[in-house]
Structure 1
Amino acid sequence: MDTPKPWQQDVEHLYLEYNGWLRNWLRKRLSEKADADDLAQDTFLRVMRTHQPLNELRQPLAYLATIANGLLVNRWRRQAVERAYIEALAAQPEAVALSAEDQYLLIETLMEVDALLHGLSPRAREIFLLSQLDGLTYRQIAVQLGLSIDQVQKSMSKAFALCYASQFE
């Protein structure tokens, strides 16, 4: 049998020492105990994937809370996207209904787009959405937001560059 490496021992120690605290911390933020337990496990999985030296942590609770909070935000964002998708589906005629697999793939794609858009500044995100979803021209966006057309073009360039770069990640 292999002897555990020091890093593995650090992860095990962190888990044994703080898993209960983390689950309780998450339970205060979530309505379901099982959801809190799942996110606690996801937090420790994230810790294991980072391979950060854990023996140097000065504030392990803050470290775990930061990771768990990021997972919470991702969860809430995903739930918001799913709710919006379900509402949009409910408004469609039944002939347009998608299979469960297609629905899953569509939600995953929407999550990727959402994550990509959160890489933009709020103003650039608004400009991009006004252009791509609402179909406004750069001039219309500039008037609506009180910007110059040049500012709108620069924001769109950043947004398109981000979209292009995401294709090669």
Structure 2
Amino acid sequence: MSSSPLAVQTLYRHHHGWLNSWLRSRLGNAADAADLAQDTFVRLLQRSERLELKAPRAFLRTIARGLVIDHWRREEIERAYLETIAHLPEAQTPSAESRALVLELLESIARLLEGLKPKVRKAFLLAQCEGLTHKQIAQQMDISVRTVERYVADALYHCYLLRYEP
């Protein structure tokens, strides 16, 4: 089956109800389930390669599971951000537009960091967010300074690739 609109339409007709139910059971929310079910099929329409589906439900579930994880991550980021700004005086509370822009930026950063190995991510965050020196990071993580340098360089290279790759 190719990812032509007709093939996706057929897949949608046969499996949308099942996928929507599966998502609703995972999310506990019919509106979010409906949105993610639609997003799953939009992803299929955006694919350029030919689809050979022997197990269409397993394939749809794999795509949808990734979307659910993204959804949960977005909710967690939004919840943490809203808790943080809730403590600001009213005069300093960002506008709805500013909040939306910050949340979009935070989601991008989370996706970027998600691609790093845990130790690399930790060293990078300690350097960038905490302002620790490589020596301080090495002591805190109980690794060599050279390893910290390599971890930070790996993280920066990862960021560069994500930023400048087409």
1:98 CA drift (Å): 0.9
Hey, what's the Cα distance between the residues in 2 that align with 1:23 and 1:110? 28
**Map 1:57-136 → 2, pairs under 5 A:** 57-136=53-132
Deviations 1:29-72 (A, max 9, x none): 01211111111001000011013323x21111111000000000
**Other structure's SS at 2:26 match:** coil
**Other structure's SS at 2:27 match:** coil
Of the candidates 13, 35, 52, which is equivalent to residue 49 of structure 2?
Answer: 52
1:135 CA drift (Å): 1.8
Q: Which amino acid aligns with 2:119?
A: R
Match of 1:11 in 2: 8
Of the candidates 25, 40, 44, which is equivalent to residue 43 of structure 1?
Answer: 40
The runs of 5 or more residues in structure 1 that have no matched partner are none
Q: Which amino acid aligns with 1:45?
A: V
Hey, what's the Cα distance between the residues in 2 that align with 1:114 and 1:6? 30
Using structure 2 for the length normalisation, give the TM-score. Answer: 0.93
Equivalent pairs: percent with the same residue?
A: 45
Of the candidates 14, 17, 21, which is equivalent to residue 24 of structure 1?
Answer: 21
Hey, what's the Cα distance between the residues in 1 that align with 2:28 and 2:148? 42
1:7 CA drift (Å): 2.7
Hey, what's the Cα distance between the residues in 1 that align with 2:159 and 2:88? 28
Tell me the number of residue pairs that the alignment of Structure 1 and Structure 2 aligns: 164
Deviations 1:85-116 (A, max 9, x none): 11111122333211111110010001111101
**Other structure's SS at 2:49 match:** coil
Q: Residue 124 of structure 2 contacts residue 152 of structure 2 at CA under 8 Å; is this kept in 1?
A: yes
Hey, what's the Cα distance between the residues in 1 that align with 2:61 and 2:104? 26
Hey, what's the Cα distance between the residues in 2 that align with 1:93 and 1:119? 36
Q: Alpha carbons of 1:53 and 1:167: their partners in 2 closer, same or farther (altered >3 Å)? A: closer
